[in-house]
Amino acid sequence: PAPGVSLRLCSTGGAPGGINKPVIERIIRVDHAGEYGANRIYAGQMAVLGRSSVGPVIQQMWNQEKDHLKKFNDLMVAYRVRPTVLLPFWNVAGFVLGAGSALLGRKGAMACTVAVEESISDHYNSQIRTLVEEDPEKYKELLQIIKQFRDDEREHHDIGLEHDAE
């Protein structure tokens, strides 16, 4: 006879208590994948346009993305979140996208940056909304980080527009 209540079996997890684990895990995993991909995009762009006049601009944006990635690496370890299994794919796809768009010239590279940063900041915005709906106090630190990153990405978007228009 099938049991009325099925047993819940779980080994102990290690995250700070009281948080909505699945939501946080997904947020961190997706953001980590996003920053990783953005890193690879800029790497691809630098590989082609590194020595051109727009090189330093791309380099600076790339450095900021590296900081973002580092922050998410730290968060990933702290919350014991597993990285996405598609990382090798994002590795290649990001680089190809960056290099491909750069081969179209600096306008192509900037257009790519604008598009990518636009969708990233939309994505961060919806995450901020989710966290605020859940509990702004509990997730204060994470919210701060995501807000800061969203502002950085908007800045990249604006820089891209500036250089696209020139």
Could you say whether residue 165 binds other proteins (CB under 8 A)?
no
Could you say whether residue 17 binds other proteins (CB under 8 A)?
no
Cβ–Cβ under 8 Å, residues 124 and 153: yes
Tokens of 137: 């106090």
Amino acid at 50: G
Could you say whether residue 11 binds other proteins (CB under 8 A)?
yes
Amino acid at 132: V
**For residues 144 and 128, what is the distance between their CA atoms, to the nearest angstrom?**
9
Q: Which C-beta is closer to other proteins: that of 32 or that of 157?
A: 32
Q: What are phi and psi of 105, to 5 degrees?
A: 105, 175
- Contact with other proteins (CB under 8 A): which of 17, 53, 88, 165? 88
Q: Please work out the total of residues on this chain that contact other proteins, with binding judged by CB under 8 A.
A: 24
Chain contacts with other proteins (rule: CB under 8 A): 1-5, 7-14, 32, 72-73, 76-77, 80, 82-83, 85, 87-88
